[in-house]
Chains A and B, each alone.
Chain A
Amino acid sequence: DGGITQSPKYLFRKEGQNVTLSCEQNLNHDAMYWYRQDPGQGLRLIYYSQIVNDFQKGDIAEGYSVSREKKESFPLTVTSAQKNPTAFYLCASSLATGVGETQYFGPGTRLLVL
């Protein structure tokens, strides 16, 4: 089955710790995205990538880092510089044709700070 997987479903972070959220897709999509969602809020873009080995900052990139070494994978690292990381993190992918292409979302990772 084609789709997007994210792991883990829940993640706990200690003070000063970096944590990495996994996102994998087998839809053969070129574009991948990371969003953060806070309670009662919409989605805010953290980073996005249109092609392997290239990515751009979104609106709230500070305290986060990404890599795109493979087409299928777009991991997000939440660094210790991110002072308020508790949120629901969503990964998405789409075709990258330049016109609006439907985004497909993974099931999300809920990050909690201990």
Chain B
Amino acid sequence: GQNIDQPTEMTATEGAIVQINCTYQTSGFNGLFWYQQHAGEAPTFLSYNVLDGLEEKGRFSSFLSRSKGYSYLLLKELQMKDSASYLCAVYNFNKFYFGSGTKLNVKP
């Protein structure tokens, strides 16, 4: 089967840095995606890793270690609008497998 684990909920302060972890055990791997989803809305794409290492996109960075089945999403200079759920998804054999998501609460 496919198993993707993320923490259920995290809280951080405005202006701080937060790291959201994702571990996966899947029968194959063709890439890992991070999505942001605000309550009641559709997910929007944040980042994609297929090779080991760090991908940086403005305030957001994502890291992948394929040998460890591990990824993290790093959010810097947190803003109130970053309060949302963050979904980790593994792409494998034409399908995406999603974790349950991490709800991030940003407090003033």
A residues sitting closer than 8 Å to B (CB atoms) are 31, 33, 35, 40-45, 48, 50, 58, 88, 90, 96, 98-108
Contacts and interface: CB of A to CB of B under 8 A. Distances in A.
A89 to B, nearest CB: 11
A103 to B, nearest CB: 6
Nearest to B93: A98
Interface residues of B, number: 25
B50 A41 contact: no
Nearest to A44: B98
Question: From DSSP, what is the main secondary structure of chain B's interface residues?
Answer: strand
B100 interface: yes
The 10 closest A-B pairs by CB, nearest first: A100-B31, A105-B42, A100-B91, A42-B98, A42-B100, A43-B98, A102-B45, A100-B30, A42-B101, A108-B42
A99 B87 contact: no
Given A42-B100, A103-B33, 12 more contacts: A33-B96, A40-B103, A41-B100, A43-B87, A48-B94, A96-B94, A99-B31, A101-B91, A102-B45, A102-B48, A105-B43, A106-B42
Given A42-B101, A100-B31, A100-B48, A58 B95 contact: yes
Interface of B: 4, 30-33, 40-45, 48, 50, 87, 89, 91, 94-101, 103
Contacts of A48: 94-95
B60 to A, nearest CB: 15
A107 B41 contact: yes
